[in-house]
Amino acid sequence: MTKQFFLVSLFCIFFLFVLGQNEATDSLDNGIDLYLLTSSPGAELYTTFGHSAILIEDKNAGKTAVYNW
């Protein structure tokens, strides 16, 4: 009985989590896209281990910004 209760509870939690994720992504569509840009290692000291940047694209405002680190 305890094992069945545990499995049913686990299934219900998983089901609610999946439904919550779908609703959250539907409501967050505001025209802004985020991208992670990565490159391979280079010859310069600051690119020895590769390089990363975040690109933010706002389609509503027509603006694009890239933040390096």
| Contact indicator for 33, 54 with CB cutoff of 8 Å | no
pLDDT at 63: 93
Q: Is the pLDDT of residue 11 over 60?
A: yes
Query: What is the C-alpha separation between 9 and 5, in angstroms, rounded?
Result: 6
Confidence of residue 5 (pLDDT cuts 50, 70, 90): confident
Question: Token pair 């999946």 is at which residue?
Answer: 18
pLDDT one-digit tens code per residue, 13-68? 776 676 665 544 545 567 889 999 888 888 888 778 888 889 999 988 899 999 98
- Cβ(57)–Cβ(48) under 8 Å? no
